[in-house]
Amino acid sequence: QVQLVESGGGLVQAGGSLRLSCAASGSIFSFNVMGWYRQASGKQRELVATMTNSGTTNYADSVKGRSTISRDNAKNTVYLQMNSLEPEDTGVYYCNLVNLDRFGASPTYWGQGTQVTVSS
């Protein structure tokens, strides 16, 4: 129903920047949440940032002030601009989309993940 295609991951030095992109296709509901999660080796997946279709954002404390999430609803694309990257930001970043239907269901979709590695 929904496919998420990510790009922009890579290897950067501490203090550098990356911009991740995720394009969604398929059955995208009018009300939805798109965002980014990450998972470091040996750790649980954690929220990085999310944004609703109406523009409400939510950031993890660890990235607040350093990262900016944005989206282009016409393109069903979400971006994550990450600045002042730290080694602790290293992990696999997953794009996420949650469709919000009128019955209260929230089917969730995930991208394949893209590796972000920040060297010290």
Express each pLDDT in 49-95 by its tens digit: 999 999 999 999 999 999 999 999 999 999 999 999 999 999 999 99
What pLDDT sits at residue 1? 87
One-letter identity of residue 119: S
In the chain, the percentage of residues whose pLDDT exceeds 70 is 100
Of the candidates 54, 53, 57, which has an alpha carbon nearest to the alpha carbon of residue 68?
A: 57
Check pLDDT > 90 for residue 116: yes
* Cα gap 86→101, rounded to integer Å: 37
Q: How many CB atoms lie within 10 A of CB 20?
A: 23
* Cα gap 88→97, rounded to integer Å: 24
Q: How many CB atoms lie within 10 A of CB 99?
A: 20
* Residue 58 near residue 49 (C-beta atoms within 8 A): yes
Q: Can you say whether the dihedral through the CA atoms of 66, 73, 111, 50 is positive or negative?
A: positive
Task: Quote the mean pLDDT of the chain.
Answer: 97
